[in-house]
Structure 1
Amino acid sequence: MQLNREDSRELLKGNDVLYIYHNRIDHTGDKMHSEGQAFEAAEQTLDDLIRLIKKLTAANANNLLITADHGFIYQNRELDESDFLGDAVSGDDIRYRDRRFVLGKGLSASPAFHHFSSEQLGLDGDMEVQIPKSINRLRLKGSGSRFVHGGASLQEVVIPVLKVNKKRQSDVSAVEVDILRGASSVITSGQLAVTLYQSGPVTEKVQPRHLRAGIYTQSGELISDSHELSFDLTSENPRERELQVRFVLSRKADEANGQEVFLKLEEQHAGTSHYKEYKSLRYLMRRSFTSDFDF
């Protein structure tokens, strides 16, 4: 985390795979004096991972795989006597015992344990494994018991696997188009003249934008003629990038008198016949008579 961007990029250039190990949760939860801070450790770990992902992707790491070696059980209270296993661990040769499992040879069978042979677990040798049923703990001196792992509960064995893929974002975009409202937001005749403004010139990295324009009711019904417009002007002069458009209302517009209507600019979904709204402007229809231009 201390490397700057250039050093991080050099590290990535020199290695096909980087393995980063984070141990805050186990380091906190496995100690008796700090196991009560397991939730805080988990929150801090998520923050650490987010910062780490941002740092790696900024250094041009493209494919990240985030996972855990195990889950854990945590109880945010002091344990009751019933949370511990009553049966004692016994056997010919107990090699290792933890709060959630036992390794050994000739382990004594008990209804309180799941018992596995090496063969059942796909391992070589003759080692046996016992795991307490449910979420009960084995007593272990000098060790905390609220934060445990190593057993066979879903909380312990199901782990997350997150894939992060950073794709290079193109710096090519479509030119922006604005609707310049006139002095009034009220439509009083059978026509509406509007100025549309292309915000900048079309260049190699700023591509033309193609829009469909019309006036619509609140229910989405077209009540004017429709215009197919291309904004592909290359002039540096802002005034030369203004486009005057005149909309002629249809007879259906009479039904919208006294209501709000919308001038909509719509853009076609690539490769389809469907359109999505790009921008819109609200008007109030207030006509006192029907225009001769209605169609």
Structure 2
Amino acid sequence: LHQLWLRLMPAYFLEHHPKKLRSHWCSPGSHKDSANYAAIYTALRAAKEFYDLKEKHIDGLAFESARSLYKAYETELYKFDHAYRIFSENSIEISKNGSDILKATGLVEDIEHLYVDWYLHDLAIVWGKLVDDENLLDNWSLAGINNQQNFFREEVKGVLSKTQTKRVFVIISDALRYEVAHDIHQQINDEKRFKSEIKSQLGVVPSYTQLGMGSLLPHQKLTAHLGTKPEYKADGMSVHGHDNRHKILEKHGGVAFKADEVLNWTNQEGRDKVRDTQVVYIYHDEIDAIGDKQVTENQTFEAARDAVDEIKQLIGRIINRLNGSRVLVTADHGFLFKMTDVTDSDKTALKSKPAGTTEAKKRYVIGSNLPTDSYYWTGKLANTAGVNVEGGDDAEFMIPRGSNRFNFVGGAKFIHGGIMPQEICVPVLQIRELDTKAQTKHAKQKVNAVPLNNPVKIVSNIDRIKFLQTDPVGEKFKARELEIWIEDSDGKKVSSREKVLFESTSEKMDDRKRNVQIKLEGSGFDRTVSYKLMMEDTESKVKTTHSVIIDLAFEDDFF
């Protein structure tokens, strides 16, 4: 019963108090605890999303092929990671504000248990079996999905050759996970001037920065060189470090800048710096810079939120001030993260550093002639990253199975390097500016909301009016906030004013029905007089009206 209550609680609160996210209690500045109330209801909404997704997969995670699982992650399973991130970020905020309400109910523990012990655990088993059955690490490719090492040829050159675009801007954000990129995609498409399309590419293995960043650069041949530390070269030039990447791009009509440089340019300075270029790479580092350090890894989800804001700011700067019309956003790799501390069960122990090792990290080992064992995967970078062995070394790797780590040095909650979908489903956003005609066509309409009964009948001083949100929020429609009240025939307000946000994404009509509580003000209501239900869009101020009959069995002077 306790577990059932935990699953129903978010749905109960959101059904009976959906207005809270935009109400007096959650509006910034309206109450000293407003931020805390907003965080509570945001967390509850994320928990509900997680439980709803779990219910859809009540029979477990089963897929016929690695490609089908990958595509399922790309279209739906990523939402588990998103819901967990939003819930966790807000539960942390609630705790910082001195409240234990979510912990006291057991909700934090339950979401953590389901995410780690059910979702991640089962996903790792199913995905791992498919990888083994299809010998995927011997031929790291999936039909219809581009490999990361082909990014420049397929994506950058693709835009330049198939459009009249003279210049492409590429934002590479370190550890921008696919589900985080989805937030950028959705927020951009909620606006009018830009259009975003999202897909993914199959990331290189091991999924770590130097190899991922190197694979995104233009090259005919990527080689690995195993010395005291692995070094990668694109057509003989080192890919390590900002200056080297800039030199590689210069040979292909490109330049490289850091995100903070771009944001600090004046308009003229920026235009001068990109004027004679075809390709502009902009390197952004927020998530990995925070998550991959032991002292700050607990701030990973806050960093993800900040990354969304910063990348949107970069996109706006590029299009508005640098005359850019095409922007690509991608990453070197994704990441895995869980809130609870790691334990010995999260570790794939190596008794000693394998002979032939040139680099050993939490989630991968790189070297040559590495040992094999059933506790971990082994493979060659030639197969999983397109590394050419001519002119370089035939580099090998070891990675733990599932979401395990080889060691816990330097923090262990935030990891990458392996082959879990969260690490290797690398986002690619294609963003373009729309002309005036296209803006009108692309602009999402706001959902409509109507009372279910016409005329509306009020029978008590405090009553509920049932509304239907006519369409789900999604690709075609966005949320609408309405202010609702009742007026008499002279236009005098006779009820409370209620702000209601209609933002349901459910395809089921019953899920989009909402009860809104309204309180009458005054007395002497006449059942033979027609009153008006006023519904005003809080942004456009456009009003719609519906007839109301007030038929009170008795009136209480208290109201």
Instruction: Give the TM bin, normalised by the shorter chain.
Output: 0.5 to 0.7
Give how far 1:167 is off: 3.0
Counterpart in 1 of 2:271? 9
Contact (CA 8 Å) 1:12, 1:61: kept in 2 or not? Answer: no
Match of 2:424 among 151, 157, 164: 157
The answer as to 2:359 corresponding to 1:96 is: yes
Within the alignment, does 1:55 sit opposite 2:323 as a pair? no
Q: Take 2:394 and 2:275, find their aligned partners in 1: how far apart are those partners?
A: 45
Task: Give the alignment partner of residue 25 of structure 1, picking from 287, 310, 317.
Answer: 287
**CA, structure 1 residues 167+153, in 2 after alignment: closer, same or farther (shift >3 Å)?**
same
Contact 1:87/1:112 (CA < 8 Å) preserved in 2? Answer: no
CA deviation string 1:79-124 (max 9, x = no partner): 1221111343553321111111111222221111111134433431
After superposition, residues 1-295 of structure 1 pair within 5 angstroms as 1-59=263-321, 60-88=323-351, 90-121=353-384, 122-123=386-387, 124=389, 125-141=393-409, 143-169=410-436
Q: Post-superposition shift, 1:161?
A: 0.5
Q: Decide whether the 8 Å contact of 2:290 with 2:297 is kept in 1.
A: yes
Per mean C-alpha deviation after superposition, the further-off stretch among 73-82 and 119-128 is 119-128
- Are residues 84 and 166 of structure 1, via their aligned partners in 2, closer, same or farther at CA, if it must alter by over 3 Å? same
Q: Give the direction of change, closer, same or farther, for the CA distance of 1:157–1:63 in structure 2 (3 Å limit).
A: same
Partners of 1:96 and 1:64 in 2: how far apart?
34
1:71 and 1:149 in contact (8 A); partners too = yes
Structure 1 pair 162–89 and aligned structure 2 pair: CA distance change class (3 A): farther
**Structure with higher helix content:** 2
Contact kept in structure 1, 2:349 and 2:407, CA below 8 Å? no
* Larger Rg computed on CA atoms: 1
Q: Which runs of 5+ in 2 are unaligned?
A: 1-262, 441-543, 548-559
CA contact (8 A) 1:72 1:155 kept: yes
- 1:7 partner letter: E
CA contact 1:91–1:106 (8 Å) conserved in 2: no
**Alpha-carbon distance change, 25 to 140 in structure 1, aligned in 2, over 3 angstroms:** same
Q: Secondary structure at the match of 1:162?
A: strand
Question: Is the contact between residue 75 and residue 147 of structure 1 (CA under 8 Å) also seen in structure 2?
Answer: yes
SS in 2 for 1:165: strand
Do the aligned partners of 1:98 and 1:140 also contact (CA within 8 Å) in 2? no
Letter matched to residue 103 of structure 1:
I
Cα deviations by residue, 1:53-91 (Å, 9 ceiling, x for unpaired): 111110210000001110000111211221111343553
Q: Deviations over 1:20-57 (max 9, x none)?
A: 00011111111110011000001001000111111111
Question: Matched residues in 2 for 1:100 and 1:168: separation?
Answer: 46
Provide the C-alpha distance between the structure 2 equivalents of 1:28 and 1:152, rounded to a whole number of angstroms.
22
Query: Does the C-alpha gap of structure 1 residues 119 and 67 become closer, same or farther in structure 2, counting only changes over 3 Å?
Result: closer
> Which secondary structure does the structure 2 equivalent of 1:161 belong to?
strand
**Aligned equivalents of 1:15, 1:126: Cα separation in 2:** 35
Give the conservation status (yes or no) of the 8 Å contact 1:91–1:105. Answer: no
Residues 337 and 414 in structure 2, CA contact (< 8 A), matched pair in contact too:
yes
Q: Deviations over 1:202-249 (max 9, x none)?
A: xxxxxxxxxxxxxxxxxxxxxxxxxxxxxxxxxxxxxxxxxxxxxxxx
Counterpart of 1:137, as a letter, is: R
Q: Identify the residue that residue 264 of structure 1 maps to in structure 2.
A: none
- SS of 1:40's equivalent in the other structure is helix
SS of aligned partner of 1:52 = helix
Deviation at 1:140, TM superposition (A): 4.5
| Aligned residue type for 1:134 | G
- Quick one: distance in 1 between partners of 2:264 and 2:382? 45
Residue correspondences, number: 176
Q: 1:67–1:160: 8 Å Cα contact kept in structure 2?
A: yes
What is the DSSP-based 3-state SS (H/G/I as helix, E as strand, rest coil) of the residue aligned with 1:20? strand
For 1:177, the equivalent position in structure 2 comes to none
- Closer, same or farther: CA 12–166 of 1 in aligned 2, 3 Å: farther
Per-residue deviation at 1:9?
2.9
SS at match of 2:358: strand
Quote the Cα distance in structure 2 between the aligned partners of 1:119 and 1:158. Answer: 19
The change in CA–CA distance for 1:4 and 1:169 in structure 2 (over 3 A counts) is farther
Instruction: Identify if the C-alpha distance between structure 1 residues 89 and 119 changes in structure 2 by more than 3 Å, giving closer, same or farther.
Output: farther
Q: CA RMSD in A?
A: 2.7
Deviation (angstroms), 1:12: 3.4
Distance 1:118 1:64, change over 3 A: closer
Q: 1:18 & 1:117 partners in 2: Cα distance?
A: 31
What's the secondary structure of 1:106's corresponding residue?
A: coil
TM-score of the superposed pair, with normalisation by structure 2: 0.30
> SS of the residue aligned with 1:31?
coil
Whose strand proportion is higher, 1 or 2?
Answer: 1
Hey, what's the Cα distance between the residues in 1 that align with 2:412 and 2:327?
A: 34
Return the alpha-carbon distance in structure 2 between the equivalents of residues 126 and 42 of structure 1: 35
Find the aligned partners of 1:53 and 1:30 in 2 and give their Cα distance. 25
SS at match of 1:152: coil
- SS in structure 2 at match of 1:92: coil
- What is the SS of the residue equivalent to 1:42? helix
Q: CA shift at 1:5, angstroms?
A: 2.5
Deviations 1:253-295 (A, max 9, x none): xxxxxxxxxxxxxxxxxxxxxxxxxxxx99x9xxxxxxxxxxx
Q: 1:61 to 1:115 in 2, by over 3 A?
A: same
